[in-house]
């Protein structure tokens, strides 16, 4: 039986797999091999189609989708009593456990385990209907993060923490930027907790996880008649009034919608889609992006005027390769964490593996390191992890990089500790070792030791002092 935070599932009815673009790559609900009642449905009707095409009711309010939430947060999501319709008009109610698919530290999709509860039309008990309230939680919820949760000894990161604390308690907007996996989400959650604002007034939205044509209506709401099927619906800014809204992947918001966002930043006002009525909100905006703001402006992913409005509260999180002092901190932390999770007894790593970690590029940053350590600890029975315990894909990435005829001897330098080949250092170490051994043989007699070593006693005495050799 699968048990996640008290939510028990002893079987599943269907499995749904989507990629990061929400393209359905597998769905047993419509697979004839699993569901024999769907003889008229062909695979091309659902495979390689967008999730919102297969389940159009989700598109109207993407925030209620466990799949969207999972790809947005990168965490395991559990949702009970999710109601939705498929493209044939069939209605469903399900319990879902949605697990992110992560490769090289990046989210590449999600797999959802689905348990059908009852079809909506079969529910007649009014008391049972009351249970159809949204029950949504995230396993290993980042909302518990505080500034004390941030693992670092890096000066730049420590300064970023102090800056984030200051920005947490003032109304000015904040923009956190850095590469994928550098810890932007943890910083944001720490800021939210530090601010003291109730979680009921916090809205989190990954803008890259939403269809471009829906972002404006999701953020600002809609008015009845704005477009076919549009109803009066509150937007996320309405929901966050008096609190905080976190907009992840800010550079994914269309240019024209960024202009509307700028207006909210300036005076707190906006108009829902299709409405002539101006609304006012008091919302603190925290935004994040994995692209350098100046590059985003150059690539027309970010409006220059929006950048200027956010520039007073910008926080940069450096990539892991630029804060190498943190790498082994994370290695030791995650080894301990996954020892407990998987019942292992890993005590450390070899020097060769340490050299690899210290010289690797870490394109996926801390997130990539975390998942590599999890893979190594969970699959290995060794007490000391070595290069051979690395995930198989790492070898292709290091030695081949998808290309034939790569010079593997050159690439293997990533495993080398160049200090081990410092000739001067090695000669000093060897000299010290020989002198200590000869002094041991002569029981400390320097005259006799000098004769064996072929050097004057005075020279030996000088070397003993210089090399700090204890007698």
DSSP 454: T
Question: Residues 230-246: pLDDT tens digits?
Answer: 577 888 999 899 999 99
Mean pLDDT of 439-468: 88
How many residues comprise the chain?
471
Question: Residues 348-366: pLDDT tens digits?
Answer: 999 889 988 998 889 899 9
The CATH T-level fold of domain 2-140 is Beta-Lactamase (3.30.450)
pLDDT in the model for residue 132 = 32
Residue 11 has pLDDT above 50, yes or no: yes
Q: Are 266 and 309 in contact (CB under 8 A)?
A: yes
Residue 248 has pLDDT above 50, yes or no: yes
Torsion angle (degrees, nearest 10) of CA 278, 280, 283, 284: 80
- Out of 54-68, 265-279, 298-312, 417-431, the most confident range is 298-312
Give the whole-number percent of the chain exceeding pLDDT 70. 80
Neighbours of 6 (CB within 10 A): 7
Rounded mean pLDDT of the chain? 81
Nearest to 317 by CA among 169, 467, 178, 446: 178
Residue 217 has pLDDT above 80, yes or no: yes
> Can you tell me the distance from the alpha carbon of 47 to that of 23, in angstroms, rounded to the nearest whole number?
8
Mean pLDDT of 189-216: 87
Burial class (CB in 10 A: 0-12, 13-18, 19+), 261: buried
> Would you place residue 417 in the very low, low, confident or very high pLDDT band (cuts 50, 70, 90)?
low
Terminal-to-terminal C-alpha distance of the chain: 66
> Can you tell me the distance from the alpha carbon of 471 to that of 464, in angstroms, rounded to the nearest whole number?
9
pLDDT in the model for residue 426 = 81
Q: Are 34 and 28 in contact (CB under 8 A)?
A: yes
Residues with Cβ < 8 Å from 317, sequence gap 6 or more? 157, 160, 176, 177, 178, 179, 182, 183, 184, 187
> Would you place residue 226 in the very low, low, confident or very high pLDDT band (cuts 50, 70, 90)?
low
Backbone torsions φ then ψ of 221, nearest 5 degrees: 85, 175
Q: Where are the domains of the chain?
A: 2-140, 144-318, 321-420, 422-466
> Can you tell me the distance from the alpha carbon of 223 to that of 274, in angstroms, rounded to the nearest whole number?
5
Residue 467 has pLDDT above 80, yes or no: yes
pLDDT in the model for residue 142 = 57
> Can you tell me the distance from the alpha carbon of 168 to that of 166, in angstroms, rounded to the nearest whole number?
5
Q: Does domain 422-466 have CATH number 1.10.10.60?
A: yes
Tokens found for residue 21: 């673009």
Listing DSSP states for 290-319 in one string gives: SS-HHHHHHTTSS-HHHHHHHGGGEEE---
Mean pLDDT of 13-30: 86
Mean pLDDT of 266-279: 87
Nearest to 310 by CA among 172, 206, 441, 208: 172
Residue 140 has pLDDT above 60, yes or no: no
> Would you place residue 402 in the very low, low, confident or very high pLDDT band (cuts 50, 70, 90)?
very low
pLDDT in the model for residue 407 = 42
Mean pLDDT of 28-50: 66
Mean pLDDT of 455-461: 89
Mean pLDDT of 288-302: 93
Q: Which residue has the higher pLDDT, 379 or 32?
A: 379
Q: 8 - beta bridge partners? A: 3
Residue 151 has pLDDT above 80, yes or no: yes
> Of the ranges 58-72, 77-91, 193-207, which one carries the lowest mean pLDDT score?
58-72
pLDDT in the model for residue 28 = 81
Q: Are 164 and 315 in contact (CB under 8 A)?
A: yes
Q: Does domain 321-420 have CATH number 1.10.10.10?
A: no
Inter-CA distances, 346 with 114, 200, 371, 376, 381, Å: 35, 41, 16, 10, 8
The CATH superfamily assigned to 144-318 is P-loop containing nucleotide triphosphate hydrolases (3.40.50.300)
> Would you place residue 86 in the very low, low, confident or very high pLDDT band (cuts 50, 70, 90)?
confident
Nearest to 18 by CA among 58, 57, 61, 70: 70
Q: Which residue has the higher pLDDT, 154 or 13?
A: 154
> Would you place residue 228 in the very low, low, confident or very high pLDDT band (cuts 50, 70, 90)?
low
pLDDT in the model for residue 45 = 66
Inter-CA distances, 338 with 19, 98, 281, Å: 27, 21, 44
Q: How far is C-alpha 238 from the chain's CA centre? A: 28
41 conformational bin, left if phi > 0, alpha if psi -120 to 50, beta if neither? beta
Tokens found for residue 328: 């082994």
Question: Residues 168-181: pLDDT tens digits?
Answer: 999 999 999 999 99
Neighbours of 437 (CB within 10 A): 11
Mean pLDDT of 46-75: 77
> Can you tell me the distance from the alpha carbon of 140 to that of 189, in angstroms, rounded to the nearest whole number?
13
Listing DSSP states for 20-81 in one string gives: TT-BEEEEGGG-TTT-TT-TT--GGGTTTSBHHHHSHHHHHTGGG-HHHHHHHH-S-EEEEE
């Amino acid at each position: 039986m699968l048990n996640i935070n008290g939510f028990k599932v002893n079987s599943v009815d269907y499995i749904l797999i989507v990629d990061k673009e929400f393209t359905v790559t597998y769905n047993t609900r419509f697979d004839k091999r699993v569901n024999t009642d769907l003889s008229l449905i062909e695979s091309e009707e659902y495979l390689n189609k967008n999730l919102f095409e297969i389940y159009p009711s989700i598109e109207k309010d993407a925030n209620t989708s466990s799949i969207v939430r999972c790809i947005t947060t990168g965490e395991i999501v559990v949702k009970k009593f999710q109601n939705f319709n498929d493209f044939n008009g069939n209605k469903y109610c399900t319990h879902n456990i949605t697990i992110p698919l992560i490769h090289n530290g990046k989210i590449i999709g999600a797999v959802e385990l689905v348990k059908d509860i009852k079809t909506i039309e079969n529910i007649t008990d009014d008391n049972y209907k009351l249970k159809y309230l949204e029950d949504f939680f995230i396993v290993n919820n980042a909302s518990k993060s505080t500034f004390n949760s941030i693992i670092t000894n890096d000066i730049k990161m420590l300064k970023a923490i102090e800056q984030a604390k200051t920005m947490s308690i003032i109304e000015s907007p904040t923009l956190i930027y850095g590469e994928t996996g550098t810890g932007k989400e943890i910083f944001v959650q720490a800021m939210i907790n530090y601010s003291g604002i109730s979680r009921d007034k916090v809205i989190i939205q990954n803008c890259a996880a939403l269809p471009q044509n829906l972002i404006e209506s999701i953020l600002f709401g809609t008015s009845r008649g704005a477009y076919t099927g549009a109803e009066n619906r509150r937007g996320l800014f309405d929901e966050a009034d008096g609190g905080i809204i976190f907009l992840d992947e800010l550079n994914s918001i269309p240019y024209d919608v960024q202009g509307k966002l700028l207006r909210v930043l300036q005076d707190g006002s906006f108009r829902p889609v299709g409405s002539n009525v101006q609304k006012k909100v008091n919302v603190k905006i925290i935004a994040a992006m994995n692209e350098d703001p100046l590059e985003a402006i150059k690539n027309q992913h970010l409006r220059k005027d929006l950048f200027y409005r956010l520039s007073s509260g910008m926080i940069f999180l450096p990539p892991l390769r630029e804060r190498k002092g943190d790498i082994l901190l994370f290695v030791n932390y995650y080894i301990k964490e996954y020892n407990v999770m998987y019942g292992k007894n890993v005590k450390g790593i070899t020097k060769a593996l340490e050299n690899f970690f210290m010289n690797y590029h870490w394109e996926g940053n801390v997130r990539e390191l975390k998942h590599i350590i999890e893979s190594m600890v969970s699959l290995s029975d060794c007490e000391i992890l070595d290069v051979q315990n690395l995930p198989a894909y790492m070898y292709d990435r290091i030695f081949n990089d998808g290309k034939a005829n790569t010079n593997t001897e050159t690439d293997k330098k990533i495993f080398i500790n160049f200090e081990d080949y410092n000739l001067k250092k090695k000669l000093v170490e060897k000299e010290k070792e020989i002198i200590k051994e000869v002094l041991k043989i002569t029981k400390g007699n320097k005259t006799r030791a000098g004769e064996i070593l072929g050097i004057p006693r005075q020279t030996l005495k000088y070397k003993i002092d210089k090399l700090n050799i204890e007698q």
